[in-house]
Amino acid sequence: MRISICAVGRLRAGPEKTLLDDYLTRFDRTGRSLGLGPARVVEVEDKKNTGMSAEAALLRKSLPKGAVTCTLDERGRVMSSPEFAEKLGGWRDAGRQDLALIIGGADGIDPDLRAEADFSISFGAMVWPHMLVRVMLAEQLYRAATILSGGPYHRV
């Protein structure tokens, strides 16, 4: 199952980009034998700065056809890492070819796009910077692949 992280904004060189690349490389390496990956980041940018609906239109264009869509949103479901791994494995086992994980811009995700999503995940009640969410998501993808491969899992 291919993974697309579809995000508003450009992540420039720096510590977040380094961490993102590291975790996605780890995910690709661990997930390959499990039928997970590759993972890629698709960035969209509303250069006219016309708001969430314009961002949503750009995000919709970035989604692979037929993909399971999952938003990252504070209203989404809070899950443990094993629960996330189980969800990811379930989509894969159901024969889904693509998963699109959607990260909105500074103002969040357009309500219409959020309502269209198949699922929504929250990293807690706090709102996180959208650039940091990419890193957290990539780490959880790697952790999920590790859990699904039977590797050690520890609760933090």
pLDDT tens track for 9-42: 999 999 999 999 999 999 999 999 999 999 999 9
pLDDT band of 153, cuts 50, 70, 90: low
**Residue 156 in this model has a pLDDT that exceeds 70:** no
The mean per-residue pLDDT over the stretch 130-148 comes to: 96
Across the chain, mean pLDDT equals 93
pLDDT band of 60, cuts 50, 70, 90: very high
Top pLDDT among 156 and 86 is at 86
Give the Å distances, CA to CA, from 130 to 43, 49, 98.
12, 16, 22
Per-residue confidence (pLDDT) for residue 97, from 0 to 100 = 97
- For 69, residues 6+ apart whose C-beta sits below 8 A from its C-beta are 63, 100, 102, 116, 117, 118, 119
Per-residue confidence (pLDDT) for residue 136, from 0 to 100 = 97
